[in-house]
Chain A
Amino acid sequence: AQSVTQPDIHITVSEGASLELRCNYSYGATPYLFWYVQSPGQGLQLLLKYFSGDTLVQGIKGFEAEFKRSQSSFNLRKPSVHWSDAAEYFCAVGATWAAGNKLTFGGGTRVLVKP
């Protein structure tokens, strides 16, 4: 069975500083990986996804993520955070792209941005 671990429950970062959110997955075959952001009381917005190809994936809002098969990781990064980036971030894995929306989510990382 597939699983996702986000080791950091909370991260506090100063506005303008860089951000990295960790995600480790467990899956026997090539995973389909996603990062979502959720603002309080809202649904999920897709930041980026990895299916195949270039292991460095660019997303919206200046985010990027790097797939590292050897480390079973898919960490999310942003060079300079804005106050509006304060939210909950979820990493997710799917088995195939067709069933890839039957997703297994990590526990989430809450990002707080200090002025």
Chain B
Amino acid sequence: GAVVSQHPSRVICKSGTSVKIECRSLDFQATTMFWYRQFPKQSLMLMATSNEGSKATYEQGVEKDKFLINHASLTLSTLTVTSAHPEDSSFYICSARGQLNTEAFFGQGTRLTVV
């Protein structure tokens, strides 16, 4: 199957700083990327959907000014958590789908810890 790489796999940042998470499709062009958040021992919750070259569509309750999503190319989407707080600590997972794919492929996830 297609490969999606997420970086970093783990990051620790200080409260008030920003952190960027990258999601790359390595062997296909990702026309659509999805960002999910997973709290410990809970399910995945969709945060936003981004299409290449367009503004991301955020799910209800997700602060677009706090979680900045950029999908500037067909192989890269970034999620920036701005002014991070301890409650933003979570596991963030991206998935990517190409135009001809019937499914999306998931990255390995990023464990964010805000101290």
Instruction: State the interface size on chain B (CB cutoff 8 A).
Output: 24
Binary interface profile of A, 81-108, with partner B (CB < 8 Å = 1, else 0)? 0000000001000000100111111111
Among B63-71, B82-90, B106-114, the stretch that binds chain A is B106-114
Q: Is the interface of B mostly helix, strand, loop or mixed?
A: strand
Kindly state the separation between the CA atoms of A88 and B97 in the bound complex, as whole angstroms: 23
Which residues of chain A are near B75, meaning CB under 8 Å? none
Kindly state the separation between the CA atoms of A107 and B44 in the bound complex, as whole angstroms: 8
Instruction: State the interface size on chain A (CB cutoff 8 A).
Output: 21
Q: Is the interface of A mostly helix, strand, loop or mixed?
A: loop
Q: Choose among A43, A49, A97, A102 the residue that contacts B108 (Cβ–Cβ < 8 A).
A: A43
Kindly state the separation between the CA atoms of A106 and B43 in the bound complex, as whole angstroms: 7
Q: Min CB distance, B67 to chain A, in Å?
A: 16
Question: Assuming the A-B contacts A101-B95, A102-B34, are A45 and B106 also in contact, with contact meaning beta carbons closer than 8 angstroms in the complex?
Answer: yes
Which residues of chain A are near B54, meaning CB under 8 Å? none
* Interface assignment of A42: CB less than 8 Å from any CB of chain B: yes
* Interface assignment of A63: CB less than 8 Å from any CB of chain B: no
B103 contacts A43, CB within 8 Å?
no
* Interface assignment of B74: CB less than 8 Å from any CB of chain A: no
Which residues of chain B are near A34, meaning CB under 8 Å? 103
Question: Assuming the A-B contacts A42-B109, A101-B34, A101-B97, are A90 and B44 also in contact, with contact meaning beta carbons closer than 8 angstroms in the complex?
Answer: yes
* Interface assignment of B78: CB less than 8 Å from any CB of chain A: no
Kindly state the separation between the CA atoms of A73 and B28 in the bound complex, as whole angstroms: 33
Q: Min CB distance, A26 to chain B, in Å?
A: 15
B106 contacts A49, CB within 8 Å?
no
9 contacts between A and B (CB under 8 A): A34-B103, A43-B4, A46-B105, A49-B103, A101-B34, A101-B103, A102-B46, A105-B45, A108-B43
B: residues with CB less than 8 A from A are 1, 4, 6, 32, 34, 42-46, 49, 91, 93, 95, 97, 102-109, 111
Q: Sort A-B residue pairs by CB-CB distance and give the 8 closest, nearest first.
A: A101-B104, A43-B106, A44-B106, A43-B108, A105-B43, A105-B44, A43-B109, A107-B43
